[in-house]
Copies of this chain bind each other. A is one copy, B any other.
Amino acid sequence: MLYQPSGAQMLARKLSGIGNLLPEDEAAIAALDMTVMNVAAGHLIAEEGSSPRHCCVIIAGLACRYKILVDGKRQIMSFHTPGDFPDFYSLHVDVMDHSLAAATPCQLGLVPHSIFRQWVRRHPHLANLLWRDTLIDGSMFREWIVNVGRRPGPRRICHLLCELAVRLENVGLAEAGRIPFPLTQSDLSDAVGLSVVHVNRVLQDLKSQNIVLFHNKEAVIADWPKLRAMAQFDGAYLHLKDGGRQLRHFKI
């Protein structure tokens, strides 16, 4: 692909997916000067226990939050797509209580805390939208709890696929039912709280039923209605503008 959107553009897309940007807000975002940085797959972006002095905006790639337990088990608590700014919370909470890492090679834009603090002071409407974003983050965590707490294995995986599809389409990264899907089965298993072996068997089942196919770090959602039904997916918790009606393939 020749054209690659900038960090500011991705941020604007993301925010206008969950609310309205005033011209003033758009100007502030467009004027945003971020330090671009590349991170290899698996590398830490912000470590548990550290106190970042900047926030990162994901420009390309997929990041994830996780905690490692004392017995070595890992639980992934969220994935983050381009346009997300997953360590924004370090603005108000001093110490990271979990790690943030690149699940795949990532391009990041670093923004000093001071700039966001300025935004909050000077642009109350934008500040509210940022706050809204952190609250929607909370919504996604809650749904994630439901996923690992009360859904059987296959449904968990389908639900995660649905969420990723909708979120990626919302920032313009899905076309014709095809989404980038660079995660390993091990990542998936740590996200849904299952073993790798079991994830493998479920995925094969999805393939054999021709619901989702995986090729070349992409997922082809061959039968969205069926996937959605298997997941019992209702995307209301994503709080997209107009209930996500602007989405073309993955209506929620």
How many monomers of this protein are in the complex? 2
Of A34-42, A127-135, A167-175, A197-205, the one contacting chain B is A127-135
- Determine if A83 is an interface residue (Cβ-Cβ < 8 Å): no
Of A6-14, A21-29, A63-71, A104-112, the one contacting chain B is A63-71
Query: Which of A95, A149, A150 has the most B CB atoms < 10 Å from its CB?
Result: A149
Q: How far does the Cβ of A114 sit from chain B's closest Cβ, in whole Å? A: 14
Complex Cα distance, B67 from A93, in Å, reads 28
Closest to A69 in B: B150
Q: How many residues of A are counted as interface, with CB atoms below 8 angstroms from the partner's CB atoms?
A: 42
Closest to A135 in B: B89
On whether the beta carbons of B136 and A93 are closer than 8 Å, the reply is yes
CB proximity to B under 8 Å, residues A48-105: 65, 67, 69-70, 73-75, 77, 89, 92-95, 97-98
- Determine if A148 is an interface residue (Cβ-Cβ < 8 Å): yes
- Determine if A186 is an interface residue (Cβ-Cβ < 8 Å): no
Given the complex, which residues of B lie within 8 Å of A128, measured CB to CB? 92
Given the complex, which residues of B lie within 8 Å of A95, measured CB to CB? 236, 239
- Determine if A215 is an interface residue (Cβ-Cβ < 8 Å): no
Tell whether A142 pairs with B141 under 8 Å between CB atoms, given A97-B237, A149-B193.
Answer: yes
On whether the beta carbons of A236 and B135 are closer than 8 Å, the reply is no
Q: How far does the Cβ of A112 sit from chain B's closest Cβ, in whole Å? A: 17
- Determine if A151 is an interface residue (Cβ-Cβ < 8 Å): yes
- A residues near B (Cβ < 8 Å) are 65, 67, 69-70, 73-75, 77, 89, 92-95, 97-98, 121, 124, 128, 131-132, 134-139, 141-146, 148-151, 192-193, 232, 236-237, 239
Closest 10 CB pairs of A and B: A149-B193, A141-B141, A148-B149, A92-B132, A97-B237, A75-B150, A75-B146, A138-B138, A89-B135, A75-B149
